[in-house]
Structures are given as C-alpha cells and as structure tokens.
Structure 1
C-alpha cells in the first residue's frame, strides 16, 4: 500500500488485486526478472519455493484442484516458463485453474534483446487458456485480475507476462479497476435438454453410466449415485481418468473402461444406452479401427467442458453442470423395478508372499487398501501398476483419486504436496514408480521444508517397467534402455532433507504402514517409503 503523499506503484496495486481474488499463496522458483516483485514481500503473501518449475506448477495444480480456486504461480522468463511447459500442459488437461505470472526483461530495452529477454509469446503453445503481455505497466494489475477469471472459467493456466521494470511504475487507478467484477457461465441445463436425456434413458432396456473427472465433487457423487440406483444400472469409470466421478466401492461400480475400441465394445456390449457424465466419449490410448460401441447403442454426454462436448461423437451432448443436470434427470425418471442388480465382481487381493517370494506392487496396494482411511486422497503415477491400483485401492470419497490427465510423468509428487497444503487435515498418499519419481524428485525438499505430511510410497522395481512391457509387445527381444536397480530414491530423499525408509519384505512394509497410516492426517512431515518390488511380467492396459 502506498504511503501518504506517494503514488501507488504497480507492485502495490497488484498485491491489492491478489488479495481481492484470494491469490495469497505464491508458488515459485524465481530469477532476477522477478526480484523486484518479490523484494519486501508483504507478510500476508505466503511464498512456497519449488526447486524446479515442474514442481512449482505441480504443487500449484494440486493446490488449485483441491481448493477449487485458482492458484498463483510466478515463473522466470524463458528458462522458467520453458521448464514449466509440460506441467502447464498437465494442468490444462487436469482442468486446474492457475494464474501464471512470467517475468520478462526490462521493457525499456527489449527492442535490443538483452540478456534474459524472453521470446515468450507462444512458448507454451495452446496450453494456456489465455496469455497476455500488457501494453503498458499500468495495465498489469487489471490483466492479473482478468487472468483469474480466464483461469477459473477456462479451467487452465492463464498467463500474464510482466517486464521487470513494470513493478516500480506508477499505477493508474482507473486501469486497476477495469477488470471484471464477475463472469458467470451457464450452470443449469434447460428443460428440453433434461427431457431429451430422460426420454433416451426411458426408452432403454439396459442403460449404463460412465463417470469421469468432471463429476468429482460431493454433489456430483451424490447425484450420480442417486441416478444409478434409480436406474439400477452399472457405472463405469472413464479410462485414464484424472479423478474419480463415482464411489468405486459401490455395488453398481463396474470398473474402469478399457482404452481401446475393441475393449470398449466388449465392456459396453448389451447396453443400448450409455450416458457419460463429466467424461469424454471416449478416452483412448492405442489406436484401433472400428466403432466405440456396437451398432444400435445410443450415446449421450453431460459435461461442463465445451471442448469435451464438441469432440464427443454422441447423439446428445448437454453442456451444463453435471451434478445439477444429473440431479434433475434422476427426479424425472421412474425407479427400476424387479430384483436389484447384484454387486459387481471385484478383484480379490493377492495372498501375502510366501517366504522367499518377492514383493509385487499388488501386495503393497492391498496392504494400503486395508489400512487407508476412507477419505484418503491417493495421488497416482505408477504406469505399470495402475490396473492393480484401480482394482485394489478404490476411491471411496470425492477427491479420493488424482492422476495426470495428460499422461506425462512428474506430476504426482508435487501435486500431492499441493493437495495436502490446500487441505492440511486430509490424509494424502502418493503411489509412484521409482522411474516416475525421478522426474520431480526435487519436490521432496519443498515437502520437507514446509512440513507437508504426505506419505510417498515408491514402488521400486529398478526399471521403466511399463516401457519394458511395451517394448516386448512391439516384438523387441530386449529394451534399448538399461535398468537402474542401483538407484536409491530413499537416499535421494534423505539428501533433500526428507525422511525416508526402504523396505524389502512384506513384514517390514506392514510394520511401517501400521506405524504411519493411523495418524497420517495429523502428520507434520513427509515420509518417503521406498518398497522394493519385482516388476510384473505381463502388460495390462
């Protein structure tokens, strides 16, 4: 705040905007172009340091997703912005609202391209939902206010580039107030849309539902559960979903949809109407020819994501809030009659390994499932063990599962830290492969420094197991890359100041879990638990 008799600076005006919009937690790995903004940082602005921009954006992404509000990121010109691009792409795919300020060299000599001048326009491609370099310093506070709205409504990173000398320029009160007070999108589906969905489901003899990340809220879970029970029909989870959209321990939960068309047709065979809620129709991984579903099966989607609605090849797409639309749809439909559908079959947990037998990922996941609190948030990044995690560790509460929608590695470790920062009283467990952990292992320093009580379970098989299996599937006798069994994630963690243990037996695993998990919600420090496991021999998509 400017003192009496002095003009307000752009920096002061920006802090007022940040307070107005609740952007008072700042995630950053700054450089010289950001020092002017950070010098004498006000006490009510909390600074969270990450040691790499991927970790910075990952923490902010987890924080934004859990809090439901845009999070603030500060990046250092080309180097920082460039390092963050993959994480920003993941934030966009995960629909995480971020306000991203990117530093730039001094505006007064940018024409001469000085040292650290960034060619920033387009550096992150199409992943920002909005990017803007204000024409003059006085437009910076208003641009940051607009970025908050763009991030919230576009559900992704909104980027504002700020030259380093702008912070000290004199503010223009009129320009600061030029930002919109509020923007609102359409929330409720109109009556005809709900009627059309109801008519489609009334005419079906064997409907089913597909839940997606866009339905992951208490209201979404409640309304979709009510609809499923009213129809007494199975509910699938979208393939490669970043979040769960339905209670996965419910009797009607059918499992996760396959990600290839032949598997989709088999899974949905016999259903004459499929309604996806908060999910695309349909997310795929390997390309296969053919249709998504058998001829005659009708498809519809309810989503609040315009891109998701537009690209889904469906008969009926409703662009509106999923929870509200499904709630109204359930009321409009008659209840199913007859004998209730029996509970869907579940994968039985594996028996503990016998003496001399190796630990496998499924043993670790089954032990976690027996001990985790129902409200625990599980953040996943273990590609080769993901099918076992889905089968053995179901999401039992909203925000019970989080993964990278983009598929790139390096998300889970910092995202879990951000989730815990946003909700300090919730148990948070990150299940990560040892290869995956190396993409953002420096995030452990932030977890330790800020006392973030996350349990990081590292499934250490000493290789890129998913790549080994894919190589075998492609017909290769041996992968072109080496194993790295000598690598120790627990040693790296301790070197970063983070407590860590390594276990290589089932008894030792249970001992640590029994010690940690009952009080995990109250833990004030992280723990890396590196578990030596043998890679599974077969590939399961």
Structure 2
C-alpha cells in the first residue's frame, strides 16, 4: 500500500506529540483532513489569529511545539499579529498554510499565495514551500526541529492542496539535544568579576522561564546576594516575586531604567532583550559605572546591544556552572521591595481594589494570563507570581493575544487559568470564548472595563496630545456577549458586589468546570503607564 504525504505527516505529528491541531479550515486544507485520526483533536478558532494564540498557550503549557493550520494567504494575513507575538515571545509553533494546487500556481489562482515563503518573514525562524510533494514530510520534520531549537519560535510551511494525496516516504524520528554553554573562559571571567563587585544585580528575562531555569536563577541570586529585577515588557516571570531579593519590574523607558540600575556596579541580564523600550528619550541605557553582562541563547541578540559583554549560551547549564564558580558572598543583601498599601473599599470599583482581592483568592499554583496594558504595573505590584510558568502575557504588544492564549494554556493540562483582560484587549479576540466553551476550557476571564484604550490615551497625554481620537469604546455588554457564545458570565460595578463575584469566578470553580467571564466596570483610572516622566 502506497504511503501518502498525509500518511507520513500524521505519523510525524504522532511522533512529535503534535496531535492537538489548532486552526480554521478552508478549501485548500480539505485533503489534509481525509480520514481524520480518532486520536487527534482539532481545536477550531473562529479567526486565525485566535487559533495561533491558542496554539501558543498550548505549547507553553506542554513545553512542546504546537501545530497550526491556516487557510491560504488570507488566513496567514489574519494570523500575522499573533505570529509576531509568538516570534518575539519564542513560542515553538509549526504553522502550515494551504496553497492552491501546483498546476494552478502559474495562473495566479483564487486563494493562491504569491511567494508564500516570504509572506510571514521576518517573524518566523524559517519558511518554506517544498519543491516537491514528496518533500513535505521531511520539510515538516526539519521545521519541527528548528522550532524547538533555542531560541525557540514559530516556523512556516506552505503546502499545495494536491500534495496531500501524493506518494511520500515516512520520516523517522530524530532527537536533537540543544543545550549549549558559553566558553568556559568567558564564564570564569564573569565569575571573577562577580566575586570582586560591590553591588550586583540580575535582570531576569523571559528566557529564564522559557528554559525552565528558575531554580538556577534563584541559586545564583542567593549565592551572590544580588538584587533581582524583571526585564522590561517581559512576557513571562522567571523569578519568585515573594523572594526577599526581588526588587520589581524594570520600566521600558531608558532614563527610568538606568535610574533603577544605577546603584549596581555589575548587572547580569539573563535571557532578556537588553533593553526593550516603549517610549523614546535621550538617556543612555545605563548610568556611568554600571557594567553589563548579557547571557542569552540567541546569537542575533548579541550584536546590536549598545553596551556590555554578551555570552551566547543556553541558561540552565551556564547558570549551574556560574553558580559553582562564584564564591558565596557575605555582602549585605538587597533591601526588601516596597509593597503597595492595601486599598480600602470606597464608592468606586478601582483596578487596585480588584487586584488586591484577586490576590487573596488566587491559589499559588494557578497560572495567571494578563493583557491589560493600562493596569499591568498595578497587577505586578499587587499580585506576586511565584510559580515557574505561572505568568504569561505578550512581550511584544500586539493585542488580542491574552484571551486565546489562556484558552490554549488551559487545554494543555486542564488546570484552571485566570486571565485578566482589558476591555479593548478582549474585543480583539473575543470569539475565542466560543472555543473555550466548546472544549470546556477551565478559564476564568476577568475583564477590567475602563471604557476604551486608556493606555493609548495616557501615552497621548504625556506627549501633549489630548484628546486622542479613537480611544473611547464604552457600553459593551461583555456578559451578554459571553452568553451568546454559551459562556457563563457575571457583572459587577460596585465594591460591595466584588467579593461575591470573585468568589464565584475564582474560588468556587474547579478544573472540571468550564469557562466563566466576570465583567467588572472599573473607575478611578486614566490608564497609568509606568511612572510620570518628562521628555
């Protein structure tokens, strides 16, 4: 019996653990679904960007690459915002897009993609349309290995729709051991500098969480008695925020960031872009006298850094070696992080009150997904994360990521996820509620509704633009919208109703219950971002 491309790909997907397929099907993908295997799960997203974000959440939860099926050129175009996020956040995805039949490509057919391997670049690690149908399984196997090799990320394959029925050879599984370590002499030099410095600090980037290196980062911080910060706009956590050495989150503004790091003579950045800025100013990246070392697995990060010394390395082996090389320090430990005062209930339902009460109810092992740009700083200050893999957001800024990301993350291990969203963010991908209901994803969605894109308005005011057009939304009935998708929902706009609503949405729901949305109309906010500055 002849083995087809489809037969070989199905076997490859089983071998690589990619039996949950996320997508939105169309005519150019139909042949891929012939005799769909009983042991595969198809997770339908009602829009392609939601399908990609759900796949990303699943990949982050399982630690394996996720498989995504997109519909031709239009589907790839719809999905590119989420592909951009996956690329910047180093999420391993194998993305396959349908293409018209090879015999039609010269005729510029309906739904055909011109230069399909160029379309998603530069936001994929690699992109191909195989030269022959028989090459499709081998190309997909290679792409899977590329996606999973540090720095991990999405890859893309365009498959003409008539390839699936053609003959092809099966692909044997391969193993790639991808951990690698910096030059021993470079690590020894860094250890020597850390032994002689007076005030060291670590900057924890998303790479620490991505490489499951949190224990190694904690061990190094404790051996050095170093202050610990989270890198600007990080899509992960990477360090227990209740640890006495934890200092907070660096702002994405050069002057403010340099001020935060000015007390330290040596700063070691671990798995972070150095540095991610959101607002331009004329400040240098670091104050004079602060020396920077940068450890990351991506060789593309090292050349463009404006200052410091880079060590290209994966983190777990490098941190283990570095911790063994440095002397245990007896220097004074860093001061304790200043905690915000608890908010007392008044007449208004404020984001700070919501977040304080959420913190009291959030179990330590609960994964928190965030996409509320106006209130991210308040969330970081009031809801500490101590769990490896316990915090997910977008580190790149394309909205619509959080809601479907939470759905995919919940489907990865069927443990309840709490997702805190802004109203503007939720509306980018609200159709993912349908998928959450269909698969009974255990997610609690908390929508902090401030009536618009308050973060954009705040940035506008700081550069003298007021009012900012197009930033008001308001009057969206999220409970009715959720109910239309079959999702249970509650609403509150008074402090007196908050405890009951959070108890129902967070405390009383278990992992076997389906999704629930809590719509909270919050006031007393103008979209505060970072801290006030002059520019």
TM-score (norm: length of structure 1): 0.94
Give RMSD over aligned pairs: 1.7
For the 8 Å contact 2:59–2:93, the answer to whether it is kept is yes
Cα distance, 1:294 vs structure 2: 1.4
Indicate whether 1:132 and 2:128 are aligned.
yes
Aligned pair partner of 1:469 in 417, 439, 458: 458
The more displaced of 116-125 and 235-244 is 116-125
Cα distance, 1:337 vs structure 2: 1.8
Q: How does 1:143-222 map to 2 (within 5 A)?
A: 143-153=139-149, 154-171=151-168, 173=169, 176-177=170-171, 181-216=174-209, 219-222=212-215
Aligned to 2:449: 460
Cα distance, 1:482 vs structure 2: 5.7
The more displaced of 308-317 and 530-539 is 308-317
| 1:305-351 deviation digits (Å, cap 9, x = unpaired) | 22223333343212222122222212222222265444221122212
Cα distance, 1:133 vs structure 2: 0.7
SS in 2 for 1:263: helix
Cα distance, 1:520 vs structure 2: 4.1
Aligned to 1:3: none
Cα pair distance change 1:332/1:78, threshold 3 Å: same
For the 8 Å contact 1:280–1:309, the answer to whether it is kept is no
Aligned pair partner of 1:416 in 398, 406, 413: 406
Aligned to 1:362: 352
Indicate whether 1:442 and 2:431 are aligned.
yes
Whole-Å separation in 1 of the counterparts to 2:351 and 2:410: 24
Cα pair distance change 1:156/1:146, threshold 3 Å: same
Cα pair distance change 1:169/1:477, threshold 3 Å: closer
Aligned to 1:334: 327
Whole-Å separation in 2 of the counterparts to 1:390 and 1:93: 21
The more displaced of 211-220 and 273-282 is 211-220
For the 8 Å contact 1:302–1:318, the answer to whether it is kept is yes
For the 8 Å contact 2:121–2:127, the answer to whether it is kept is no
SS in 2 for 1:345: coil
Cα distance, 1:515 vs structure 2: 3.0
For the 8 Å contact 2:201–2:268, the answer to whether it is kept is yes
Indicate whether 1:247 and 2:240 are aligned.
yes
Whole-Å separation in 1 of the counterparts to 2:331 and 2:280: 40
| Gap runs ≥5 in structure 2 | 531-535
SS in 2 for 1:224: helix
For the 8 Å contact 2:343–2:353, the answer to whether it is kept is yes
Indicate whether 1:122 and 2:122 are aligned.
no
| Gap runs ≥5 in structure 1 | 1-5
| 1:40-99 deviation digits (Å, cap 9, x = unpaired) | 211111111000001000000111112111100001001111100111011001100101
For the 8 Å contact 1:424–1:521, the answer to whether it is kept is no
Aligned pair partner of 2:54 in 47, 53, 59: 59
Cα pair distance change 1:368/1:241, threshold 3 Å: same
| 1:150-186 deviation digits (Å, cap 9, x = unpaired) | 1111511111111111111122x2xx44x77233435
Whole-Å separation in 2 of the counterparts to 1:158 and 1:408: 19
